[in-house]
Amino acid sequence: MKNVAMVLTGFNAPLERKEFEIPALQQGQMLVKIEAAGVCGSDVHMWRGEDPRTPLPIILGHEGVGRVVSIRGNREYVDGRKIETGDLILWNRGMSCGKCYACQVLHEPSLCKNRKVYGINMDCVEQPYLSGCYSQYIILRKHTDIFKVQEGVDPAILVSASCSGATIAHAYDMADLSIGSTVLIQGPGPLGVYATAFAHEIGASEIIVIGGSADRLALCREFGATTVLDRHGLTQEERRQKVFEITGGKGVDLVVEATGAQGTVEEGIKLLRSGGMYLSTGYAQPAGIEKIDFFADVVSKNIKIQGTWVSDTRHTYQAMNLVLKEQEKFSKLISHRFPLEKANEAIQIMASKKAFKAVLMPASDIK
Amino acid sequence: MKNVAMVLTGFNAPLERKEFEIPALQQGQMLVKIEAAGVCGSDVHMWRGEDPRTPLPIILGHEGVGRVVSIRGNREYVDGRKIETGDLILWNRGMSCGKCYACQVLHEPSLCKNRKVYGINMDCVEQPYLSGCYSQYIILRKHTDIFKVQEGVDPAILVSASCSGATIAHAYDMADLSIGSTVLIQGPGPLGVYATAFAHEIGASEIIVIGGSADRLALCREFGATTVLDRHGLTQEERRQKVFEITGGKGVDLVVEATGAQGTVEEGIKLLRSGGMYLSTGYAQPAGIEKIDFFADVVSKNIKIQGTWVSDTRHTYQAMNLVLKEQEKFSKLISHRFPLEKANEAIQIMASKKAFKAVLMPASDIK
Amino acid sequence: MKNVAMVLTGFNAPLERKEFEIPALQQGQMLVKIEAAGVCGSDVHMWRGEDPRTPLPIILGHEGVGRVVSIRGNREYVDGRKIETGDLILWNRGMSCGKCYACQVLHEPSLCKNRKVYGINMDCVEQPYLSGCYSQYIILRKHTDIFKVQEGVDPAILVSASCSGATIAHAYDMADLSIGSTVLIQGPGPLGVYATAFAHEIGASEIIVIGGSADRLALCREFGATTVLDRHGLTQEERRQKVFEITGGKGVDLVVEATGAQGTVEEGIKLLRSGGMYLSTGYAQPAGIEKIDFFADVVSKNIKIQGTWVSDTRHTYQAMNLVLKEQEKFSKLISHRFPLEKANEAIQIMASKKAFKAVLMPASDIK
Amino acid sequence: MKNVAMVLTGFNAPLERKEFEIPALQQGQMLVKIEAAGVCGSDVHMWRGEDPRTPLPIILGHEGVGRVVSIRGNREYVDGRKIETGDLILWNRGMSCGKCYACQVLHEPSLCKNRKVYGINMDCVEQPYLSGCYSQYIILRKHTDIFKVQEGVDPAILVSASCSGATIAHAYDMADLSIGSTVLIQGPGPLGVYATAFAHEIGASEIIVIGGSADRLALCREFGATTVLDRHGLTQEERRQKVFEITGGKGVDLVVEATGAQGTVEEGIKLLRSGGMYLSTGYAQPAGIEKIDFFADVVSKNIKIQGTWVSDTRHTYQAMNLVLKEQEKFSKLISHRFPLEKANEAIQIMASKKAFKAVLMPASDIK
C-alpha cells in the first residue's frame, strides 16, 4: 500500500510530491487517513527555515483530523473508550516523554525536553516515515493522545484546535478570569480569534481587539469582540485612550498578545490595570527585543506577564470542546481548502496573508 | 540466579519464604537489590485481607530503597541523568498510565484508573514476578520514575518518603499555607510525623498534635510540634478549649487528619477557624461513617475539606527532599530493623502498634 | 419626612406597618428610595425565628435596588465615579469591618466577625432605624459598597444578584472550572438557577440539575441546563446511573449543593468523578447531619468539599455582571410582584413554595 | 505637650528639627511613642526628590515600632484583642480605603489608588501633623492596622518587617514554592536578605545570592544562602554557568530581583528553568529600560514575571512572624543605631551604602 505526501526537502523550495510504501505497524501504532490538515503560520516559517527545530526531509503538517484505518493491538481514547477502525479522530500533535522532571514533577508536559511533534521535529527518514499531515496517511505512535470526534463534524474546523486553539487554552489555563473581566487581544489572526472566543465563552464583559486588517477584525466581532481598534485608523495613543475610556480609566484585566511582532508587548503592557495580567502567546519565532520599563509598567503596577509555550493534551481537549460548541462560527475561520497536491499553493497564500486559514483536504473530493 | 522473597499466599497466614528464578529483563527493566523495605501500616491491613486491591499470591512491600544491579537498555533518572549500575535509588511506588483523562487532562496521575503499585496490586504470578520489596530483588518496570540517592544516606530512613511522606506532600500540595499559619495534626503515626515535619519546614507558627501515645507525641515534638495534646489525659472538650486558647479564640488554619479512625473528622473539623482547611489523609481503608453538621461546621464557616488519595512522583520528590534535609531526625522514626526472613515478626510488631516503623534490611548483615 | 416600613415585631406573626420619622443623615450616609426589595427564602426562615441572628424589631429585606434621594458628603461608587442624586443603584447587602484578621490578613471579608447585614442583623431601634428593604426608604451607611445601575434595567431582576447570585459567585470563585467541565446542581431554586447560569456562562459542557419541581427544572433549562432529573420520576439510584451515563462513567467535575435539605450531600458527593469538587451553598440554616463515608467518598476519590458562607462586594459585582448580560432570562425568575404593604402575602407565597421569587415594589404603581 | 520631629522641607537639604504641639486626638486615633524608626533606602530617594509621591514639608519615616501612649475611644488589634495603653506595637505603614475596586472587588488593598502611607505621602501640614516616624511621637489614624508585639523584643529588628519584609512577603504570596525548590536572589540588600530568609523558611533546597558586596553576601549566608556569587569576582557568563551547574543544567525555579538596577532583569531571567517565575521587587524608582527577548526568554520557556508593588496588612503579618521566629538573625541586619536628632547622619550613611540598615531610636538613651 502506497502513500502520497508533500515533502519539504530544502528550505524555500517547493514541497515535493513523494510516494512512500506504508510500513507495517508496530505494537500500539495506528494508521490514520488524513481528512483535513491545517496549514499553520508556523508552517510558513518552517518552510523558510526560520524554525531551528526543523529536520529535513520532513512531511509538514502538525494540525490534523483523520479517520482510523487500522490499529496494531488495542488502543484507548483519553476518556477510556476503545478506539475502533473507522472512527473520526483528533489528537494532541505533541508527545511528551512522561518520565522527566517537567512531565512528572512539574506536571507540565508542554515543557518536556523530549517532546516530539508530528510535522515539526519528526522527519520522514526514520521509520515509520509518515509523521506529518501533508499526507494521505499518518502513523500515530503509541504515546499519542487521541479524542473521538462525532460523525458529522466538518474536519477542517477542528484542525486548529490542536494548535492555535490549544495554545490559547494553555494561556487561559494560567490566567484567572471571572465573569465581567475585561480582555484586550493584540492581533486578530487565528490565535487572536481563539483568544476572543475563549474570552467570550468565559464571560468577559469587554473584549477589545487591536489589529491591522478590517476583515479579520470583523471576524473577531463574530466571535464576541465588543470593540475593535484598527491600527491603520488610530494611533497608538488613540488606541490607549480608547481602552482607558472603555474601562473607566482603569485599563483592562487581561491582555493577550497574539502577534509575535516586535513592539507588541511595549504597547500592550501599558493597557493593563494595576494587578493585571499579560499573556504572551505569539512569539513562536525570534522577533527581536521588547523594551520594558520595569518600574513604570511592571513593578509599580504589580503586573504579571506569562509566556505561553505550545500546549498539551489538556489544552487540546479544552479547545476541541470550544470548537464543537461553536461549529458554525469556527467554520468561518476556514478561508481556503485545497487538495493535498496543492500544498505549495496553500503555503503561498498563507505567506501572503491573503488567507485566514487554509486547510488541505487529502481525503476529500475537492481536487 | 535465584531470589528469595516473603510471599503472602493467604490472608492472616504467615508470609511464606519462596525462591524465584530471576527472569531475563525486558527492554527498559532494571534489576534492583533491595537495601531497605518499609513495613507500612497498610501492609498489616493487606495481610488481614482488608484492602480489596490485594491479589494473591503477592510479594508485599511498596516502600523500597535499593541498588541497581543491571539494566536492559538505557534508563534516565527523573532529572535526566543516566542511571548507572551500582547506584543507590528511590522510586515512585506507583506507575500511572500516562494516557488517561486523569493523567493527561487533569494532570493528576495519582487519580489514574490504571495505576499499578509494587507490593499492592501486582502479584508474583505474572512475569517478571519480582514486584514487591519484601524480597532480595525487585524488577522495576520501564515506566517507573526513579531518583538517585547520594551514597552515605541510610536507606531505611528514605523508605517512607515514597509512601506516607509522599501522601502528606500530596496533601500539602493542595493546601495554601504561609509563614505563621497554625496547623493541627490528628494522629502522631508516620503520616502525622510527616505532617508535623512539613508544617515545620513551611514555617507554621503553631503545630499542635493530638494523639494517644506519649512516645509518639514526644517524637512529634522533635519534628517541630509546639503543643501536644494527649487523648488519654484530656477530654475532647478540653482539647477543643486548648486549641482555641492557643489560637486566640480563632481555631487553626489547617487540620491534617492522619488517623483513619472513626470520629476523627467530627472532632477535627470543629477546631478550624472560619475559612480553614481540613486535609483528610488517613482513611486508606473503610472506617465507617463521619457525621457532619454541614450548616454548623462546613457552610457557615466556609470550610474546605480535601481528601488525599495516594501520591505521585512529584510528591515522592518533595518528601525525599524533606527527609534528606533532616536525616538525623528521620532516623528516629525507625524503631525496628529486621532481616528479610523475619518479615512475619515485622508485620506482627507493626500490628501490635509497639513499633513506630519497622524496616526490613534484605541486603544488610542484620540477620 | 415620613417613611413606611413593614416590621417584624414577633416571630410567626404578621409584619406590622409602621411609620418612621426619617432622621437627619450622618456624614457619608445616603437616603435611598427602594425600587425593588427581594423576598428571600431566608426571610421566611427569619420570620419563623429559625435564624439566630435576627434581632427584634427589624425591618426585613436584605435584597434591594433603589434610587439615591440624598447624600451627606461625597460618596463614590466602587469603580471610583461620584454617586449622584437620582442614580439607580445596587449595593452589597453586608458591611465588613475592614480591620480584622479575616478582612485584612485573609482578604476574605465575607468571614468578618463584625459583618453587619441590612435586613438581617440590624434592627430598627438603633439610629438611623431604616436598615431593611421592606420599606419605602433605606439609609445606606458610610461603609456600604455601591454599584451604579444603568437606567432602563428592571430593578426587580437585580435584587437577587446581591444575595443568591452573590453566594453562587462566591462558590464558583473558589472552584476551578474550565471550558468543557461537567456540572451537576442539586436544587432548582434561586441558588440553583444562578448555579446553572454561571456554569453556562463559564462554558460547562454538561449541566445537570436534580430537583422536585417540573416548573423549576424547566426554568433551569432556559438558563442552560442540558439535562434535568426529576426526583419524583427517578429513584436516587436511577439518577446516579443517569449521571454516570452522561459523563462516560466518570462522574461530574463539580456538584453544587443548593437545597439545604438533609441527605443532599450524601447523594451528591457520590456523583463526583475522582478529584472532583463539591460546593455546598444551601445550608443557611441548621438541617441536621450528613453521613459521609470518608474512605469511600472523600479520601479514596481525592474529593474537595467547599462550604460557602454568604458573599462580599467582589461576588455581588460578578453576579450583577451576569444578570445584566442576561436580563431577559433573569426576568423569568420573578414570579410575583407586590406593593410594599402586601409584604405578608409575599412571605406566605414564598413559604408555600408557590412563588419562585417574589419582589416588593415600594416605589412602583403596582398596588 | 510638645513633639520633636526631623522634617524634610526641601530636597537634598538637611532635615530640620521642628517642634510640634501635639493636637487633641480625634475618635479612633492613637498617640504612639516611637521606639524605633527604620531609615529605608527609599528615604534616601525621597530626600533627593526622586520619588514623585513626596509632599513637602514631611516627617520622613515609614518604618516604625512604638508604644501606645493614649487612645481616643476603643481600638482593637487585627486579631481582635483590645489595644491598651503601654502596649508595644507594629503597624501596617499604609492605609487602603477599603471601598474601591482594588480593595473590594480585587481583594488587593496594596493596589488601592487612595492608599495613604505614613512618612511617604502624608505631609506634616495637614492635621494631626504627626505622620512620620522620624519623630518622638506619631498619631496613628483610625484605619491603621495594628499588631501587638510581646515585651522583650528589640524594636529595631522589627521596623523593616513593615517595609522590605512585607514587600518580599507580598512577592512570595504570589509565587508557588514547594519543599526542594531552587531560588536565586539578585541583590543582597534588605530586600534580598528577606528574600533569602523567606526562601529558607519555606524549605528551598538551593538559595543562590548574587551581589557585589562580600559583607552583604556573608550576611545572606547566615540567613540560609547555600551559594553566593560575587559580581566582582565572576563575569555574568561565569555566574550563569555556576547557576546551571548547581541546578543540574535546568536553571532555578524562582528568581527574586532585589536590586532595582538597570540590567538586572536581563541577567536574571536567563537563569530560570522552563516554566520558572521571576519576581521583580526592587524597582521602587525609575531605573530605565530592560531589554527582553520575548521569544527566547519568556515565551519559549513559558516564564512568568511578576512585579511586586508595596504590600498590605497580610504581608506585614507574615514578615513580622518571620522576624519574631528569627530574632537573633535579624538583629544582625541592624548595622547602625542613632538618636532621633542624628537623622541626617543616618540618611548619609545609608546613602553611602556603608550601613546595611540604620535605625533611629527616638525613645532610647542612645544619644
SS3 content of chain A, % helix, strand, coil (to 5): 30, 25, 45
Question: Which residues on neighbouring strands pair with residue B306, listed in sequence order?
Answer: B279, C304
The sign of the CA dihedral D230, D231, D232, D238 is positive
Query: How far apart are the CA of B321 and the nearest CA of chain D, in angstroms?
Result: 6
Interface-testing mutation among D294, D304, D311, with chain A (most A C-beta atoms within 10 A): D294
Interface-testing mutation among A294, A304, A308, with chain D (most D C-beta atoms within 10 A): A294
pLDDT mean over C177-203: 95
pLDDT tens figures, B228-238: 999 999 999 99
Cα–Cα distance, A220 to A53 (Å, whole number): 32
CB atoms within 10 A of CB D19: 9
Where does A79-142 show beta strands of DSSP type E?
A: 88-91, 94-95, 116-117, 137-140
Cα–Cα distance, C5 to C44 (Å, whole number): 17
Q: Which of C78, C99, C312 sits opposite D76 (nearest CB)?
A: C99
Query: How far apart are the CA of D245 and the nearest CA of chain A, in angstroms?
Result: 16
The secondary structure element, H or E, covering residue D229 is strand D227-230
Common-topology check for domains D2-165+311-360 and D175-307: no
- CB A116 within 8 Å of CB A94: yes
| Chains adjacent to C (≥3 CB pairs closer than 8 angstroms) | A, B, D
pLDDT at residue number B365:
52
**Chain A contacts of C198, Cβ < 8 Å?**
179
Residues sharing a CB contact under 8 Å with residue B63, sequence separation 6 or more, in sequence order: B37, B38, B40, B93, B119, B133, B159, B160, B162, B163
pLDDT at residue number D150:
96
Compare all CA atoms of chain C with the CA of A180 and give the residue at the minimum distance.
C321
Q: Which residue has the cell 554557568?
A: D241
Compare all CA atoms of chain B with the CA of C286 and give the residue at the minimum distance.
B295
**Chain D contacts of C104, Cβ < 8 Å?**
78, 92, 109, 145, 312-314
Fold of the D175-307 domain: Rossmann fold (3.40.50)
Buried b (16+ CB within 10 A) or exposed e, D83-92: beeebbbbbb
Query: Over 60: is that where the pLDDT of D24 sits?
Result: yes
pLDDT tens figures, B72-131: 999 999 999 999 999 999 999 999 999 999 999 999 999 999 999 999 999 999 999 999
Compare all CA atoms of chain C with the CA of A319 and give the residue at the minimum distance.
C179
A76 and B98: CB-CB below 8 Å? no
- CB C145 within 8 Å of CB D104: yes
- How many A/D residue pairs have CB atoms within 8 Å? 130
pLDDT tens figures, B275-333: 999 999 999 999 999 999 999 999 999 999 999 999 999 999 999 999 999 999 999 99
Q: Which residue has the cell 511613642?
A: D33
pLDDT at residue number C367:
43
CB atoms within 10 A of CB A35: 24
pLDDT mean over A90-106: 96
Q: Which of A180, A205, A322 sits opposite C179 (nearest CB)?
A: A322
Query: How far apart are the CA of C111 and the nearest CA of chain B, in angstroms?
Result: 7
Average pLDDT across chain C, whole number: 96
Query: Over 80: is that where the pLDDT of A285 sits?
Result: yes
**Chain A contacts of C203, Cβ < 8 Å?**
201-202, 321-322, 325
**Chain A contacts of D283, Cβ < 8 Å?**
294-295, 298-300
Query: How far apart are the CA of A314 and the nearest CA of chain B, in angstroms?
Result: 4
| Chains adjacent to A (≥3 CB pairs closer than 8 angstroms) | B, C, D
* Domain residue ranges of chain B, discontinuous segments joined by +: 2-165+311-360, 175-307
Q: Which of C92, C105, C314 sits opposite D313 (nearest CB)?
A: C105
Query: Over 90: is that where the pLDDT of C183 sits?
Result: yes
Look at strands C58-59 and C2-8 and give their pairing.
Answer: antiparallel
pLDDT at residue number D176:
87
Percent of chain C with pLDDT over 90: 95
Query: Over 80: is that where the pLDDT of C365 sits?
Result: no
Phi, psi of B217 (to 5 degrees): -65, -40
Query: Over 90: is that where the pLDDT of D178 sits?
Result: no
Query: Over 50: is that where the pLDDT of B342 sits?
Result: yes
Compare all CA atoms of chain B with the CA of A144 and give the residue at the minimum distance.
B99
Question: Which residues on neighbouring strands pair with residue B332, listed in sequence order?
Answer: none
Would you place residue A4 in the very low, low, confident or very high pLDDT band (cuts 50, 70, 90)?
very high
Q: In 3-state terms, what secondary structure has residue C65?
A: strand
Q: Which of D287, D288, D299 sits opposite A280 (nearest CB)?
A: D299
Homologous superfamily (CATH) of C2-165+311-360 is Medium-chain alcohol dehydrogenases, catalytic domain (3.90.180.10)
Would you place residue B366 in the very low, low, confident or very high pLDDT band (cuts 50, 70, 90)?
very low
**Chain C contacts of D80, Cβ < 8 Å?**
100-101, 113
Phi, psi of C91 (to 5 degrees): -140, 160
Give how far Cα D148 sits from Cα of B183, B261, C367, D110, D320, Å.
Answer: 21, 40, 58, 22, 10
Query: How far apart are the CA of D222 and the nearest CA of chain C, in angstroms?
Result: 29
Would you place residue A367 in the very low, low, confident or very high pLDDT band (cuts 50, 70, 90)?
very low
- How many B/D residue pairs have CB atoms within 8 Å? 57
Interface-testing mutation among B78, B178, B245, B273, with chain D (most D C-beta atoms within 10 A): B178
The secondary structure element, H or E, covering residue A308 is none
Interface-testing mutation among C82, C90, C101, C110, with chain D (most D C-beta atoms within 10 A): C101
Buried b (16+ CB within 10 A) or exposed e, C105-114: bbbbbbbbee
Question: Which residues on neighbouring strands pair with residue C51, listed in sequence order?
Answer: none
A118: left (phi over 0), alpha (psi -120 to 50) or beta: beta
pLDDT mean over A137-160: 97
Q: Which residue has the cell 536572589?
A: D185
Query: Over 90: is that where the pLDDT of C178 sits?
Result: no
Q: Where are the alpha helices (DSSP H) in B87-178?
A: 155-158, 164-173
D198 and B180: CB-CB below 8 Å? no
Where does chain B show beta strands of DSSP type E?
A: 2-8, 16-21, 30-39, 58-59, 63-71, 88-91, 94-95, 116-117, 137-140, 146-149, 182-186, 206-211, 227-230, 252-257, 272-280, 290-292, 304-307, 336-338, 358-360
Query: Over 90: is that where the pLDDT of A181 sits?
Result: yes
N- to C-terminal Cα separation, chain C: 22
Compare all CA atoms of chain C with the CA of B274 and give the residue at the minimum distance.
C111
Would you place residue B179 in the very low, low, confident or very high pLDDT band (cuts 50, 70, 90)?
confident
ipTM of the complex model: 0.96
Query: Over 50: is that where the pLDDT of D21 sits?
Result: yes
Compare all CA atoms of chain D with the CA of A250 and give the residue at the minimum distance.
D101
Cα–Cα distance, B172 to B321 (Å, whole number): 14
Residues sharing a CB contact under 8 Å with residue D352, sequence separation 6 or more, in sequence order: none
Would you place residue B177 in the very low, low, confident or very high pLDDT band (cuts 50, 70, 90)?
confident
Where does C175-261 show beta strands of DSSP type E?
A: 182-186, 206-211, 227-230, 252-257
For helices B190-201 and B164-173, give the axis angle rounded to 10 degrees.
50
Query: Over 60: is that where the pLDDT of A365 sits?
Result: no
CA angle B258, B260, B261 (to 5 degrees): 120
Q: Which amino acid is at A323?
A: V
pLDDT tens figures, B55-77: 999 999 999 999 999 999 999 99
pLDDT tens figures, C120-171: 999 999 999 999 999 999 999 999 999 999 999 999 999 999 999 999 999 9
Interface-testing mutation among B76, B81, B107, with chain A (most A C-beta atoms within 10 A): B107
Give how far Cα A347 sits from Cα of A53, A119, D116, Å.
Answer: 19, 14, 58
**Chain A contacts of C250, Cβ < 8 Å?**
79
Instruction: Verify cis geometry, omega within 30 degrees of 0, for the bond prior to D128.
Output: yes
Cα–Cα distance, A268 to A290 (Å, whole number): 11
Compare all CA atoms of chain B with the CA of A100 and give the residue at the minimum distance.
B78
The secondary structure element, H or E, covering residue C275 is strand C272-280
**Burial group, residue A113, by CB count within 10 angstroms (0-12, 13-18, 19+):** middle
pLDDT mean over A149-157: 97
Q: Choose among B44, B50, B53, B47: nearest CA to B12.
A: B47
**Chain D contacts of A305, Cβ < 8 Å?**
298, 303-306
Query: Over 70: is that where the pLDDT of D328 sits?
Result: yes
Average pLDDT across chain B, whole number: 96
Phi, psi of C106 (to 5 degrees): -80, -20
Question: Which residues on neighbouring strands pair with residue D94, listed in sequence order?
Answer: D117
The secondary structure element, H or E, covering residue B343 is helix B343-351
Percent of chain B with pLDDT over 90: 95
pLDDT mean over D305-312: 98
| Chains adjacent to B (≥3 CB pairs closer than 8 angstroms) | A, C, D
Residue B294: all three cell numbers together: 454541614
Q: In 3-state terms, what secondary structure has residue A296?
A: helix
